[in-house]
Amino acid sequence: CMLCRQAEADPDICGWKSAKKGLCAHAYCLFLANGLFLQEHRNGFLIKDTKHAIQEAAQKLLCPPCHCQGRTQHFPLHLVHPFHLPPRSFCWEHCPEQAVQATPEQNSICIICLDLVEEKKSYHTMVCPACQHAWFHRSCIQKQAIHAGICFRCLHCQNKDLFVMEMLTMGIRISKRLPSWESDQACGLIYQRHSYCSARRCLCLGGRQQAEEEGSWQLLLCSSCAAKGIHRRCSYLRNSATTWE
């Protein structure tokens, strides 16, 4: 990548890498360098926009405290905050620090990967500002933010507003999509309503899939699990019956 100078980088942090016509850059490195949404087409970013972003980043002073220039010090480390227009980037020496007064107890572990965290807050070790008990690695919480999407919150105390604002301030990129586990096709079946008669011998001439709004062929779902259903007639229930198990 001509911006972060990394051949291999975490795609959850830097995004996918595109290389064409002598230019190579990660998607999120381009977003940060440009400060704007770059125009995309089916083959990725336009060549002219990529070239402009790389040239602009080489001349831009990205870290306000030390006024150092871009490149390796700044990507993919960045400050993302809804009130900062345009977004600002900081080198690792001047990145934002958490104001919360908390220190990990001895042998504290990351609540996501369960590995040990550092003995103090740092760029790599963070804590939930709400409960001040949930410790995690930056790389772990970044992956969690991407996969949780709009459901992103503290895994320990379930706080959302304060937690999300703190993570944005600390440079964690949060996806605005549905959680990955809800968009997965395999998990999608969980949310589908049972829609056929599960009786050993279905009596409906229209077949197991036929379901009327009322009467003998109304499909009643199991009142305990809703994972099976049956026509009233197939379970020999009266038309007045409203539940089946």
Last residue of a domain, one of 173, 191, 209: 191
Percent of the chain scored above 70 by pLDDT? Answer: 73
Q: Are residues 182 and 206 in the same domain?
A: no
| Encoded tokens for 161 | 């507003």
Its pTM surpasses 0.75? no
pLDDT in tens, 3-35: 777 777 777 677 778 887 888 888 777 776 665
Residue-wise pLDDT tens digits, 104-130: 999 999 999 999 999 999 888 999 999
Last residue of a domain, one of 71, 93, 115: 93
Q: Is 9 part of a structural domain of the chain?
A: no
Angstrom distance (rounded) from CA 79 to CA 170: 6
Instruction: Indicate the number of domains in the chain.
Output: 3
On whether residue 11 sits in a domain, the answer given is no
Range of the domain at 53: 17-93
Q: Flag whether 183 is in a domain.
A: yes
Mark whether 110 and 176 lie in a shared domain. Answer: yes
What count of other Cβ atoms lies within 10 Å of the Cβ of residue 244? 18
Residue 185 lies in a domain: yes
Residues 88 and 105 in one domain: no
Question: Which tens digit of pLDDT belongs to each residue from 157-183?
Answer: 999 999 999 998 888 888 788 888 776
The residue out of 170, 191, 212 marking a domain boundary is 191
201 and 181 part of one domain: no
Do residues 167 and 148 lie in contact, with contact meaning Cβ atoms separated by under 8 Å?
no
Region 192-204: mean pLDDT is 87
